[in-house]
Structure 1
Amino acid sequence: MSGTPTAHLPAPAEDARLQIRFVVPPAFHEIPVFGTEDQVAEELWELVCEVLASEPDETRVRWAVALAGLIPPMAEAGVIHAGMCLVDVDGRPSTASIVASVCPLVGTDHAGAVDFLLTRLARSRPEAEVTAIELPAGRAAAVIDAVATSLDGGPTPLDGMAVPLHDGVLTTSVIQVHLPLPNESQLLSLELSTPCPEDWELYSELFADVVRSIHLEFADLPTVSEALYGPLEEPVAEAMGQRVKAAFG
């Protein structure tokens, strides 16, 4: 287990804060989102050197530049945690990312938020698989989708990886889970994405464990001194697993 990312958000009571915790698989390395420009740059380079320890500097620089370009929009989007992995699966490199963000809950009240999200997501993303799921932290909306991105033909961090392109278009498999928070004013969104379709089932099962580990708690303490969770023993959420296999299995 790599740790429990924690975020503190305003709660209805002045002396209490909403703590959000979830367990991230140990293969995922945290991407620096907060800090000064120099701090982020230093931490980002340390991350790339750790993840790509056996790669030449040219490859490390390419990954660092690509990740650096993602950090400003992530900060603007309310990202509270971002992680990436680059692992060996059956002798070939494979990559995926996990991102968690918090945004205002608008357009609906808390009680009807999930049904509102289901309707809105089904209309805006008609090709996606949209469903409600039950998590230990509450009812949530889940989306399974494939996102197509046109590449300009120049070098990318994915060079040398077994990532299929069709006419210069990269297809990324995505799962998102949107959970209305108990402060009734915000929405927690977690997303896993991977451009490696052959590893989709592996990553989606890991992500199912992540969202099942979400723990929400109002507390007076501004920090958490110890991890809440030990190793996960609960099985993958059955409903989500069936949806994943139906869409991409």
Structure 2
Amino acid sequence: MSESDELVVERRGPVLVARLNRPDARNSLNASLFRSIGAAVLEAESDPDLRVLVLTGTGDRAFCAGMDLAAFAAGEQVGVGDDPETVACNRLMAGDVAVPLVGAANAAAVGGGLELLLGCDLIVASAEARFGLPEVKRGLFPGGRGTYLPLRVPLGLALELLLTGDLIDARRAYEIGLVNAVVAPGAVLDRAVDLAERIAANGPLGVAAVKEIARLVLVDADRAAERQRHWQRKVFQSEDAKEGARAFVEKRDPVWKGR
């Protein structure tokens, strides 16, 4: 386990767990925490032994309350810069990370906090969590990927959240398809890690193909079809494809090589 003042990173086999650790500030995003999240993304992408990244928060008050307004008022620029870590965290919010991401919403995810979760492929939520994009209440609008919410939930429901700035509870978030599961508050991280481990047990090439194509088909169907053909050639001719078939016949767990 590695620990900094603002982000705790723990390796659990093939799963990397990154925990936002500013509970007194509701885990809000200042520039250093933003970069630390990006560093965790880069670690997960660069280490072949890591297959999935889980993102969660410390405490029971917030997963992340969005941008640290005190830091912003003091002139700090959050998410601005071309250093690798800042770029990587911005990629996370854009859903452009090579490994699967599981969000573990231990409590409220508001503004930029919800935008972090929207960059995740799957979301597990505490029954006490709340979600929203309240920027319009402050004369602003979601400057990250919040306005891309219609990629996650039906347009009318997305617009209701975006235009009113109101928060919804975890049960409503599940009903509209924003989150994948709602669990007891103390079980959020365990459920998210279990989900991550199930993903990590699968063939890494197949997982990478599914993640890229499923995301892409929502915004560019022609490009998705092109990438589908690319991945078909790559995956079906891979060593892992042969290993998967052998393991099935021999009734054993496959040993993946990622090639």
How does the TM-score come out when normalised to structure 1?
0.26
**Bigger proportion of residues as strand:** 1
Bigger RCO (CA 8 Å, 6+ sep)? 1
Higher helix share: 2
